[in-house]
Amino acid sequence: MARAVIYGIPVSPGLALGAIRRLHGASSGERRHIAVEDIPAEEETLRRAVAAVRAGLEKTLAGLPPALADYGEIVTAQMELASDPRLMGTALARIRHRKICAAWALEETVEELCELFRGMDDPYLRDRAQDVRAMGLRLAEALRGEGAPRGDASAGILAAEDLSPADVMELDTASILGILTAEGGPTSHTAILARSLRVPALTGVTGLPEAARDGENVIVDGLSGRVLLAPDEADLAAYHKRKAAYESFELETRAAAVLPAESRDGVRVSVRANLENARELDDLPALGPDGVGLYRTEFSYLGRELPGEEELFAEYAAVAARVAPLPVIFRTLDVGADKALAAHAALREPNPALGLRGIRFCLAHEDMFRTQLRALLRAGATGNVALMLPMITDCREVRGVRRILHELRHELAAQGLAHAARLPLGVMVETPAAVLTADSLARECDFFSVGTNDLIHYLMAIDRNNRHVAYLHEPLHPAAVRSLKQVVDAAHREGIPVSVCGEFAADPYGVALLLGMGIDALSAAPRFVPGIKHMLRKLDADGCAELVHTVLTLPDAATSRQVIHERLRRALGQELSFLATNHATPGTP
């Protein structure tokens, strides 16, 4: 193969050089119609494939190495998914009603479920499409009579259309140098596993199925999102130099992670971690966060039945106790009619991003919401807990939640259950309505947290899952920068702190602007915390305030990026490229 470059989404940092090891064959199988008398045989073929996959996963689960024991529940979830009625039942129905073969029915069912998850607005739930597709690939291989996907024992770069954690665990993990997939995102299980294995990984790699050929050498750059195919001698020399510099940088930032994030002119910013689930707590102490700025509570609601109060209380209390005395901010349930709550038959909506989601969904389904709030109030007695409400557009929504909390405290007291007498209540600022009424909202709240991902989505009137308009998801657009400044100023006028918990909080350009705006806290994925703190110690707040003043006068994002890049290049030098993980795109400085 000739030297070439393809791009993906960097989801685990680092650099690696190795030979491609392909896993999984083509995702599409045979497509044929069947006679009525052949329906039972095709149904039985699918059932046998499911049984074979479950047996293989049970074997994987039994042989999990101690270092990966925490991922056992993911493999268990994969086993449940294999026979989930939404997958198995729908595929069997297609065989019966459309008289098509098992492979065709499976392919269509997997694609339908993937589209359902891809349309979800929450990135964590959206990345569950990768779990469904990976399971579909395993089932398709079982239908073709192929065994579990195992590469050879030599070290290399795993490449596949999709991977599940079970796929990776079936291999010698010590031989995995890097991971490339055509599907998936930053919160996919494969991404989380890659970070725990400390190997670079890219998802959403353009042209991967066509470009990745077994045995050919590639360089994976998990910092810039590049994959260099068939590198030459000059490429190899540059790779070794960059890898050594990055590893030195990593050691330095990790060693200093426990130090406070204080700018050169003495301004301290709290740097916190966003958590998807409790498994991520184990690594937190070494990364030095000042608490948890966003704990997503949706994971518990993805099962077949809604969780009860005791189950939720056990989860929330355990998290609060582990993080104490540092704060943990729980975002209340952020699902809506577009989210697949198996136990809740919500209405399908033509445009769920503009429909019954976030706080709207919770207030419309108050019994379910009260169960969660009772669990959170009880967990507040075990740690430093705060509540954060998503998708707020009106002060009445905040008042409605305060009313419910007041009633629940009386209930808990009457039942003799320990609970927090008061929990700080904040809101996610992620809609234009919240930006434009930030002054009024600030008088109803104890804190703000800006969700830049959704805010940009709504400001720019785009579906960020639509590749045709993805280029408009630009955090340096003047509308986004001016909105952030307006929110920070409104919060501070009312005497409440404000944080940013979207991807912009881990973007070097974002960190510089937010420091200049006077942000109180930044919250990002745990792996970004040491780098953010390191960068804040290299910047001065007064200089960044001048930078903000300049950027607010600029006409477009490209000009702003150039101006900020020049300031950061002088302050950070080569380190700027090490800090841009997960936000790099081709052509970006």
pTM exceeds 0.85:
no
Residue 130 in tokens = 């990768």
Largest CA distance in the chain: 79
Residue 325 in tokens = 């005395």
Fold classified for 1-24+149-255: Glucose Oxidase; domain 1 (3.50.30)
- Neighbour count for residue 260 (Cβ, 10 Å): 13
Secondary structure (DSSP) of 471-523: GG--TTSHHHHHHHHHHHHHHHHTT--EEE-SGGGGSHHHHHHHHHHT-SEEE
| Alpha-carbon torsion, ordered 355, 332, 425, 365, to 10 deg | 60
Are residues 544 and 489 in contact, defined by beta-carbon separation less than 8 angstroms?
A: no
Just list the catalytic residues.
189, 501
Return the H-helix or E-strand segment holding 5.
strand 4-7
Please give the CATH number for the structural domain made up of 256-579: 3.20.20.60
Our CA angle for 337, 338, 342, nearest 5°, is 80
Please state at what angle helix 366-379 crosses helix 309-323, rounded to 10 degrees: 40
Please give the CATH number for the structural domain made up of 25-146: 1.10.274.10
**Strand arrangement, sheet containing 4-7:** 4-7, 226-229, 217-221, 15-22, 156-160, 176-181, 201-203, 9-12
Pairing mode, strands 521-524 and 270-275: parallel
Domain boundaries, the chain: 1-24+149-255, 25-146, 256-579
Q: Strand, helix or coil at 154?
A: coil
| Alpha-carbon torsion, ordered 332, 338, 339, 344, to 10 deg | 90
Identify the pLDDT of residue 129: 76
Give me the count of residues in the chain. 589
Q: How many Å apart are CA 523 and CA 329, to the nearest integer?
A: 11
Burial of 183 (0-12, 13-18, 19+ CB in 10 A): buried
Residue 137 in tokens = 């690939």
CA–CA distances in Å: residue 444 to residues 332, 397, 441, 493: 17, 10, 5, 13
List per-residue pLDDT tens for the chain, 589 residues long. 568 899 998 888 899 999 999 886 555 568 899 999 999 999 999 999 999 888 888 887 777 766 666 667 677 777 777 777 778 888 999 999 999 999 999 989 988 888 877 766 666 667 677 778 878 888 888 888 765 545 455 679 999 887 776 777 777 778 899 999 887 777 677 777 787 788 999 988 988 878 878 889 999 999 889 999 999 999 999 999 999 999 999 999 999 999 999 999 999 999 999 998 887 888 899 999 999 999 999 878 866 578 999 999 999 999 999 999 999 999 999 875 334 454 334 445 666 677 788 999 999 999 999 999 999 999 999 999 999 999 999 999 999 999 999 999 999 999 999 999 999 999 999 999 999 999 999 999 999 999 998 899 899 998 766 667 777 889 999 999 999 999 999 999 999 999 999 889 999 999 999 999 999 999 998 888 999 999 999 999 999 999 999 999 999 999 999 999 999 999 999 899 888 544 433 333 2
Pairing mode, strands 226-229 and 4-7: antiparallel
